[in-house]
Amino acid sequence: METNKECTFKGFVLNGFVALLLQLVIFAAMVFCFIKAGSYESFALLGCLLMFLFGLNMNGFIKQEPNEAKVLMFFGKYRGTFTKTGFYWVNPLMGKKAVSLRARNLNPEPIKVNDKSGNPVMIGMVLVWKLEDTYKALFEIDSQSLAPVATGRSGSGSARLLSNAFENFVRVQSDAALRQVAGCYSYDNPDDADELTLRSNAEQINEELVRTLNDRLTMAGMHVIEARINYLAYAPEIAAVMLRRQQADAIIAAREKIVDGAVSMVKMALDKLKDEGVVDLDEERKAAMVSNLLVVLCGDEPAQPVVNSGSLY
C-alpha cells in the first residue's frame, strides 16, 4: 500500500510581525554597538555578530496567499509543507520552495491520432488540474531538472519556473493519455449503434479520459478535476472522402424515409378509393397507379401532369 509522504510542517513558527519587531530591536542594538565601537573594541565585534544575525533572520520570513504552499527542507531533508496563510517567520536555515495549489487550465493544440478503425483524426482537449501532493510533485518526478534555474531563485521566480515544469509534465502525460483513449474508440460507426464512438458518446469518453489522466498523474501528486474533448475532426487527407460517405449515409437514410412514407400514402389512397367506391381498378391498373404515385412521391423533380382524355375501359 502506498504511503503518503507529504506532511504538515510542525517546526517552530513565529508570527511575522513579532519577528519583525525583534529584528528592529536587533537593528537598534547593532547601531548602538557600532556607535560605541570607537571607544570599546569589543562593541565592534558584537555589532558584526548582530549584523550577521540580522541578515540571517531576514531569510526566515514567509508571506503566503491562499492556495499557496512552501515546501521546507533542512539541508536537503524534507521537513514538511507549510500551508498557513499570512505573514510568518521560520528557521532561516530552512530551504523553501514555493508551489501553487490553485486550479489551472491546459488547452494544448489538437493532435493527430489513429482511431480504433485506423482512420487518422484530429483531436484536442481542455483539462483543469491542480497540485495535491507537494512531496510527489517535487521529489517523485524530476521537476527540478525541468526547471533548472528554479533552484537558484527564490520567491515568485522559483514558483513560476516550477509551475512551468509541472505544466510541461501534465502536457506530455495528457498527450499520451489522449492518444491511448482515442485509439480505443472509432470516430463514428453508423453500422453499430451500441458501440461507443468519439463523436456520439462524448460524456463517456470524457469520463474515461479523466480516469486515464489521473492514473498517469497520481505519481506526480497532481489531480485532474475535469477533462473534455473540445475538438474532433477527420484529418485533412481523408476529410473529403469521409464527408462524401456521411453525405451518402444521409441521402440513403432520407430515401428510406421517403419510400416508407410513399408506400403508406399509396396504400392509403388505394384503400380509400376501394372503400368509397370511387373507381373499380383491376390488378393491372392498380399496378400502373402504384407505379405512377411512387414516381411522383419519390421523385426529386416536380411531377408534370398528363391529362388522360381516354376511357379506363
Residues 92/58, Cβ–Cβ less than 8 Å: yes
Residues 42/117, Cβ–Cβ less than 8 Å: no
Tens digits of residue pLDDT in 21-35: 999 999 999 998 888
Q: Which residue has the higher pLDDT, 183 or 247?
A: 183
**Residue closest to 208 by CA, chosen among 167, 169, 180:** 180
How high is the pLDDT of residue 131?
93
Average pLDDT over residues 285-310: 65
Q: Which residue has the higher pLDDT, 239 or 244?
A: 244
Average pLDDT over residues 91-116: 91
Parallel, antiparallel or unpaired: strands 104-106 and 120-131: antiparallel
Domain boundaries, the chain: 13-96, 104-234, 240-298
Tens digits of residue pLDDT in 195-220: 888 888 889 999 999 999 999 999 99
The residues, any chain, with a CB within 8 Å of residue 90's CB and separated by 6 or more, are 9, 11, 12, 13, 14, 60, 62, 72, 82
Kindly list the distances between the CA atom of residue 195 and the CA atoms of 137, 184, 192, 250, in Å, as whole numbers in the listed order.
38, 11, 6, 19
Angle, alpha carbons 86-89-94 (nearest 5°): 120
Average pLDDT over residues 106-122: 89
DSSP class per residue in the chain: -------B--S-EEEHHHHHHHHHHHHHHHHHHHHHTTT-HHHHHHHHHHHHHHHHHGGGEEEE-TTEEEEEEETTEEEEEE---EEEEE-TTEEEEEEE-S-EEE-PPPEEEE-TTS-EEEEEEEEEEEE--HHIIIIIS-HHHHSGGGGG--THHHHHHHHHHHHHHHHHHHHHHHHHHHTTSBS--TT-TTS-BTTT-HHHHHHHHHHHHHHHHGGGTEEEEEEEEEEEEE-HHHHHHHHHHHHHHHHHHHHHHHHHHHHHHHHHHHHHHHHHTS----HHHHHHHHHHHHHHHH-SSPP------S---
pLDDT higher than 80, residue 308: no
**Residue closest to 6 by CA, chosen among 82, 76, 102:** 82
Kindly list the distances between the CA atom of residue 307 and the CA atoms of 278, 304, 310, in Å, as whole numbers in the listed order.
18, 10, 9
Q: Which residue has the higher pLDDT, 274 or 170?
A: 170
Residue with cell 396504400: 267
How high is the pLDDT of residue 306?
61
Side by side, which strands form the sheet with 94-100? 77-82, 68-74, 94-100
Residue 146: band (very low, low, confident or very high) from pLDDT cuts 50, 70, 90: low
pLDDT higher than 80, residue 66: yes
pLDDT higher than 90, residue 45: no
Tens digits of residue pLDDT in 163-180: 888 999 999 999 999 999
Average pLDDT over residues 184-191: 80
CATH number for the segment(s) 104-234: 3.30.479.30
How high is the pLDDT of residue 209?
94
C-alpha neighbours within 13 Å on the C-beta side of residue 255: 9
Count of beta carbons in the 10 Å neighbourhood of residue 94: 20
Q: Which residue has the higher pLDDT, 118 or 109?
A: 109
How high is the pLDDT of residue 143?
72
pLDDT higher than 90, residue 72: yes
Cell numbers for 9: 510542517
- Mean pLDDT over each residue of the chain, to the nearest integer: 82
How high is the pLDDT of residue 242?
66
Question: For the chain, what's the residue count?
Answer: 313
Average pLDDT over residues 271-285: 71
pLDDT higher than 50, residue 265: yes
Please state the pTM of the whole predicted model: 0.71
**Residue closest to 138 by CA, chosen among 192, 225, 231, 69:** 69
In the chain, the amino acid numbered 73 is: M
How high is the pLDDT of residue 62?
92
pLDDT higher than 70, residue 302: no
